[in-house]
Amino acid sequence: MFIVISAYIAILSLMALIMMKADKRQAQKRGQRIPEKNLWRVALFGGGIGAYIGLMAFRHKTKHTNFRIGFLMLAVLQAALLVWIYSEYGLR
């Protein structure tokens, strides 16, 4: 169970990280942006860790308090979920 959930979170986190990079690139080029609701959706459904890493690594959306705090809280909650599942079920 831990492996399945951690793989799910890893995939969505990678997806969120790529979306943050793509949106930052489009912002610099003044191109078509990824809607904020889509960034939030991926972060909420398991990509919070990747979204927060993308926020910090690419310095994207850092002026928006709701992104800084929201993505951080989602990352902490998802990491805590992984720790809890690992402690309960281990690598079965």
Q: Count of domains in the chain?
A: 1
2-55 pLDDT, tens digit per residue, is: 899 999 999 999 999 999 999 999 999 999 999 999 999 999 999 999 999 999
Distances (CA, A) of 7 to 25, 37, 86: 27, 23, 13
pTM value is 0.88
| Both tokens assigned to 65 | 């308090």
Domain that holds residue 36: 2-89
